[in-house]
Amino acid sequence: MTTPVLPEGGPTPAATARDGDTLRVAFVGEVDHGKSTLLGRLLLDTGSVTTDRLDVPVEDGGLAFLLDGLTEERADLFTLDTASAVLETGSRRYVLIDVPGHAELLVNMATGASRAEAAVIVVDCRERAAEQTRRHMRVLAMMGVTAVVCAITKMDLAGWAEAEFHAAARQVAALADEIGLTLVAAVPVSAMTGDNITAASTRLPWYAGRPLLDTLADLTPWGDGGAPLRVEAQDVVEGRVLARVLSGELRIGDRLVAPGEDARTALRIERFGEPPQESATTGDNIGLVLSGPPCAPGTLLAPPDRRPLRGDRWRVRVLCTAEDGFAEGARCTLRRAGADLTGRIARVERHWDSARRAPDATDRGPVRFSEVAELTVMLDRPADGDDVRVCAPLGRFMLTDGSVRILGLGIVDEIAGEDRR
Ligand SMILES: Nc1nc2c(ncn2[C@@H]2O[C@H](COP(=O)(O)OP(=O)(O)O)[C@@H](O)[C@H]2O)c(=O)[nH]1
Ligand SMILES: [Mg+2]
């Protein structure tokens, strides 16, 4: 395994990749439980890809390699670690993200999860969920991905037995409950035969629910949970601010403030190649004409009555993805949508195995690979941010050592200290 480094040009801003009605769904679970095969089946049966793309026949397990083949053709930096494919149904577009299950691939898993807004937990009906699934579920919960569907798969190998399905589904439901995930549905499927994936199956007459694809429609991204308006100014061109709506909805006439500046009014909202818009929503990239003085690239704009928190003492949780870990006292950078915040790991409060619950005891020793750590980071200067539960896109970040080495993926729990609002 190699220590991950940032791709040139910076990381994918955590979880800001949503545009309009696109939902990014990570497929997680134990290795060999059938994630890749299920993904391949979804693509095939929705007509997203055709059978001539299969190098190996379906009956010989070829579906598991379908996505690998598609991904290799792309030069996109961000698909190198984690394979993904696009599926369109009705009004929604899904980006399906294949997440490897090995412990050593936790890095990829976390990167995939950090870009995902929802997840499908894939469980072999005969084997049930084990260590990896638990780990993946905890990482999802930590990254603010709370809506999940569980696919209980390989039902063909269990003689389509109702009892097998219920036993596995009950186990996952209990886990989800414990970890704090919302299990939207548990669906019995066979990815190999294609049963109950895009259409109801006659081999599962006892199952009263909907096929897997239909249940994905119930997955709501975190952005819809009443998150406050957050707009990131990225550049200014000819009086227009090129901006991204990180969360919430922006309307013409809305008042927006930046730290230490007077409020501005949104006068005009434009989208490339379209007439002026009345509003823009989470994930939209827009051209924005504002009243008042120009605003600097990197500025975070928010409504005057729902401003982000501000301070230099940040309480965060980080999933360590650096092979040789990190320790208290180290310099660090929090890279997140729109900003690189530099500082120091002032204190390791405690850390623990990511498959387990947080312990009560403090443990300030070095943080190891794949552990979750609670840290206090002292920033060099106060910065704006949000608690991940208030605004997931702004509450998630990538932790680096200040150069290109990634230490982990994190979320903001609390912002205090100097300049507190
Ligand atoms: N019989 C049967 N085999 C399956 C099913 N889904 C996956 N498999 C097989 O299980 C093995 C692991 O599948 P794969 O998709 O690679 O698992 P992953 O490691 O979770 O991505 C492969 O040999 C698949 O052909 C299924 O629904 N029924
Ligand atoms: Mg796989």
Q: Give the H/E segment covering residue 318.
A: strand 309-320
Residue nearest to atom 7 of ligand 1 (CA): 34
- Residue 76 makes CB contacts below 8 A (sequence gap 6+) with none
pLDDT band at 108 (very low <50, low <70, confident <90, very high): low
* pLDDT, tens only, 349-397: 999 988 888 888 888 899 999 899 999 999 999 999 998 888 877 888 8
**Which ligand does the CA of 159 lie closest to?**
1
Q: How confident is the model at residue 419 (pLDDT cuts 50, 70, 90)?
A: low
Distance of CA 38 from the midpoint of ligand 1 (Å): 8
- The three-class DSSP label of residue 295 is coil
Q: Which atom of ligand 1 is nearest to the CA of 64?
A: 15
pLDDT at 77 over 80: no
> What value does the mean pLDDT take over residues 70-80?
45
Residue with tokens 């050592």: 401
Are the CB atoms for 24 and 119 separated by under 8 Å? no
CA distance 291 to 299: 15
Q: How far is the CA of 36 from the centre of ligand 2 (A)?
A: 4
Burial class (CB in 10 A: 0-12, 13-18, 19+), 157: middle
Instruction: Give buried/exposed letters for 35-56 (b at 16+ CB in 10 A, else e).
Output: bbbbbbbbbbbeebbeeeebee
Model confidence band, residue 106 (pLDDT cutoffs 50, 70, 90): low
User: SS3 of 94, please?
Assistant: strand
Q: How far is the CA of 319 from the centre of ligand 1 (A)?
A: 29
Percent above pLDDT 90 for the chain: 49
Establish whether residue 31 lines the binding site of ligand 1, counting it when its CB lies within 6 angstroms of any ligand atom.
Answer: yes
The full set of domains in the chain, from first to last, is 3-224 (3.40.50.300), 230-301 (2.40.30.10), 309-416 (2.40.30.10)
First to last CA, the chain: 43
Number of Cβ atoms within 10 Å of the Cβ of 268:
13
Please indicate whether residue 80, judged by its CB atom, sits closer than 6 Å to ligand 1.
no
pLDDT in tens, 316-341: 999 898 889 999 999 999 988 778 89
User: Does the beta carbon of 133 sit less than 6 angstroms from any atom of ligand 1?
Assistant: no
- Tens-digit pLDDT profile for residues 263-303: 999 999 998 888 899 999 887 899 999 999 888 888 899 99
Nearest CA to ligand 1 atom 10: 34
Non-local CB neighbours of 415 within 8 Å, separated by 6+ positions: 309, 310, 311, 313, 314, 315, 385, 387
Q: Mutate which of 27, 32, 125 to test ligand 1's pocket (most atoms within 8 Å of Cβ)? A: 32
Task: Please say if the pLDDT value at position 65 is more than 70.
Answer: yes
CA-angle at 353, arms to 350 and 354, nearest 5°: 105
pTM of the predicted model as reported, rounded to 2 decimal places: 0.78
Cβ contacts of 372 within 8 Å, gap of 6 or more: 138, 142, 317, 318, 319, 320, 351, 352, 353, 354, 358
pLDDT greater than 90 at residue 11? no
Q: What CA–CA distance (Å, rounded) separates 334 from 351?
A: 19
In this structure, which residue's CA is closest to atom 8 in ligand 1?
34
Residue of 28, 37, 39, 105 best suited for mutating to test ligand 1, as the one with most atoms within 8 Å of CB = 37
Q: State the average pLDDT for the chain.
A: 85
Q: Of 137-151, 212-226, 376-390, which gets the smallest average pLDDT?
A: 212-226
Q: Is 191 in the pocket of ligand 1 (CB under 6 A)?
A: yes
Nearest CA to ligand 1 atom 23: 61
